[in-house]
Structure 1
Amino acid sequence: MKTETGLPYQRDQLYGRDRHSVPAARRFAVWSLHYWGLAEWGRAEDVALCTSELATNALLHGVPSGRGFLLRVRYDGAVVRVEVHDSGGGTPRIPEDPADAAEGGRGLLLVSALSDKWGVGERNPGKVVWAEFAR
């Protein structure tokens, strides 16, 4: 499913560094799926949960004081992609030792388990952490 220009459907929303941003980002992702007619899609809850995890990680590790993050949800008819753009440094990773997951990284374990692919891209400043879900 693409627009008249051949580009994928895309929804963007900016969020501030605030604890209310995570549930708002999740609602926005769910709303986007409804908007595109994917409300009954079997993976909508996976998309919602991964959006929450990526937004939480951005707030905890990637959003300096006075800044926020961008949530981008894209759909091209075959794949839903959730991207969280932040201005923080570092590269998110899944802990290699399960004992280290007690200190953090469990959110990325969920993203890795629920999505088909996930990764980290560069932006200046910061990074883009994304997850994809095949339809």
Structure 2
Amino acid sequence: MVWPSLLGHVPTDPLVITRRFGATPHQVRPARNFVAGILGDGHPLRDDAVLLTSELATNAVEHPSGPFDGPQEFLVTVAFVGPGVLITVQDPGSSRIPCPRDSGPDATGGRGLALVNSLATRWGFHRDSVGTVIWFELSS
């Protein structure tokens, strides 16, 4: 896992749970359920975490263009850091830089990173030879 550099320091022993998903549209729901199950029904950040994971998983499915042959996949990681949660979605990457778009009122898509930008305490991305990691942090 690549930790976001903007967090300052990484706890020495955070609870970190990771799962791989096939980069197909029918895997977005299992990714949401994965995060929801880890956080549990009573967690105050659960709904926002599930929504933002869904948006990033959808982006991983809709915009991959990585250098690898064969089936593509994305990786979701949940880490408990302090009073909040840090979630990353890693995929093979895209030729476009992840940034919020200004979608028109009739657009059927393009709002995912705008939601992340609005709801997350902070977010960012990292690119390397393996792909792109987009992360967001939610704090209570």
Q: TM-score range by the shorter chain?
A: 0.7 to 0.9
Aligned to 2:49: 47
Structure 1 counterpart of 2:7: none
Q: Does 1:130 align with 2:135?
A: yes
Cα-to-partner distance string for 1:43-84 (whole Å, 9 max, x where unaligned): 210000000000000100126561101001110232201100
Q: TM-score, normalised by structure 1?
A: 0.82
Query: Is the counterpart of residue 112 in structure 1 residue 117 in structure 2?
Result: yes
Report how many residues are paired.
126
Normalising to structure 2: TM-score of the pair? 0.79
User: Counterpart of 2:54 in 1: which secondary structure?
Assistant: helix
Q: Which sits farther off after the overlay, 73-82 or 18-27?
A: 73-82
Distance 1:101 1:132 in 2: 29
Match of 1:84 among 78, 82, 89: 89
Structure (1 or 2) with the greater helix fraction: 1
Give, in angstroms, the shift of residue 108 of structure 1. 0.9
Residues in 1 aligned to 2:21 and 2:103: alpha-carbon distance in whole angstroms: 32
Residue number in structure 1 paired with 2:5: none
Q: Which deviates more, 124-133 or 61-70? A: 61-70
What does 1:9-88 correspond to in 2, within 5 Å? 9-34=15-40, 39-62=41-64, 66-88=71-93
Residue type at the aligned position of 2:50: A
Amino acid at match of 1:106: R
Structure 1 unaligned runs (5+)?
none
Unmatched runs of 5 consecutive residues or more in structure 2: 1-10
Q: Percent identity?
A: 35
